Amino acid sequence: MSTEGQLEGRTIGSEVISREEVPMVRQERWEELRRLAVDGGVAIAELARQFGLDRKTVRRCVREPAWRPYQRPARAGTRLAAHAAYLRERAPQVGFQELRQQGYPGSYETVKLFVRPLRAAQRSGELTLRRFETPPGQQSQVDWGTATIPFRQQRQVRHVFVLTLGFSRRSYYHMCPNETLPQFLDAHERAFEYFGGHTREHLYDRPRTVCHGTTDGRIVWNATFKAFAEYWSFEPRVCQPYRAQTKGKVESGVKYFKGNFLPGRTFVDDVDLHEQLTEWSVTIADVRIHGTTHERPIERFAQEHAALVPTASQPSFRLEAPLARIVAEDYLVSVDTNRYSVPFTLIGQTVEVRRRAGHLMIFHRGAQVAEHPELPGRHQLRLLPEHGPGASARTARRIQSTRLSRATATPALLDVEVRDLALYETLTGDTAIATPRTIVAPGGTAEPALAGAEVRG
């Protein structure tokens, strides 16, 4: 046997699939061989020495324009050879009994070994996703994420709304106490304001805030959400059932938020969380080199901004449904960037804000706890003194002072001096003394007294 033949025998291992007909090198090793030979100019003999392969195997890898996966050949003369073409066509669904009906006389194990690589290739093809790129201003992807936030007092669950522009990959993040429809639509409008417009399409999963499934092949939209989409002039789209990975751009945004923003951070309250999230979006998320586009999202956004549908002149889509807010540590709640006070005892509690005729009514557990006129501008503050701890502290001091005065009062059983009121008139210049009269003391003893005398005790 030649030396080359001996080397070929020794190359049978984890990197080479052995069979008599064609030794197949795995794809990763094949790509490396091609790169070193074609781009690096490494000789065949040197590659064979480095990789422990036969030179004929290396030469064949270099010459082939594309890697070919191994398919087990049906050996001539076997019972399975006559059914090989049928098995390749029906490999994902074929059953042994079905093959029996086709006249196959062999064993189940033989069929299983033949079909296994074919089914593995089928599964790999199904898992492979084709990346779908969109032009500027065409599509956004929207999703929710859930995270446990480490606040100063305790850890609490919050929901993050993420809207990612398909072309630039720039994202808007907004923290919400829940995923209800009012929160959902309010977060959309905040995103529109943040970007200065919106795309012509929005892609969603299938939450009930968007749709209620399908009937006769047609999507049954949530009526309020559909009215919202028509009001803002964008077309809603939903993923196919159980294919949420088709909105992978925003899915990546949720993972990036959890993996880059949250680790190592703590927050005082929701206001602090919002401020830190805004700073992170501007200083980190917008200016990083994106792993897919290899560009900064803020730089690609410069191309996309002009293609967005403008929204600056359009007023908000108002809902009669209440907006849920969590009271911050400064006993304020935020509505459209303006902040309104509520009783400080509700710090950390969830309240409902309802708009009525230019006023905001704030409720807690069904009871109204505050009312404010709706501020017309932005980033304004309305603080009522009675909502703060000051009024409560003054009440506490007044109660404490009353208790102290009662504790030091003169007991009723102490003896007091009885004086004639005429003495005080004398001191003021009136020297006329009133005629004495007799009064009866509580013990029944008559005592002389002056007219107008008073017993103080």
Secondary structure element (H or E) that encloses residue 325, with its range: strand 323-326
Q: Domains of the chain (ranges plus CATH)?
A: 3-63 (1.10.10), 81-127 (no CATH), 139-307 (3.30.420.10), 323-390 (no CATH), 421-450 (no CATH)
* Summary mean pLDDT of the chain: 77
Whole-number pLDDT of residue 167: 94
Which 3 state secondary structure label does DSSP give 260?
Answer: helix
Residue 113 CB: number of other CB atoms within 10 A? 12
Whole-number pLDDT of residue 48: 84
Give the range among 138-147, 153-162, 250-259, 398-407 with minimum mean pLDDT: 398-407
pLDDT tier for residue 70 given thresholds of 50, 70 and 90: low
User: In the 8-state DSSP scheme, what is residue 82?
Assistant: G
Q: How far apart are CA 141 and CA 202, in angstroms?
A: 6
The per-residue pLDDT for range 158-216, each reduced to its tens digit, is 999 999 999 999 999 999 999 999 899 999 999 999 999 999 999 998 899 999 988 88
Whole-number pLDDT of residue 201: 95
The gap from C-alpha 319 to its chain's centroid, in whole angstroms, comes to: 22
The per-residue pLDDT for range 343-387, each reduced to its tens digit, is 999 999 999 998 877 789 999 998 999 999 989 888 899 999 999
The per-residue pLDDT for range 225-276, each reduced to its tens digit, is 999 999 999 999 998 765 555 566 778 889 999 999 999 999 999 999 999 9
pLDDT tier for residue 320 given thresholds of 50, 70 and 90: low
Q: How far apart are CA 27 and CA 20, in angstroms?
A: 20
Whole-number pLDDT of residue 304: 96
Question: Closest by alpha carbon to 12, among 45, 57, 47?
Answer: 57
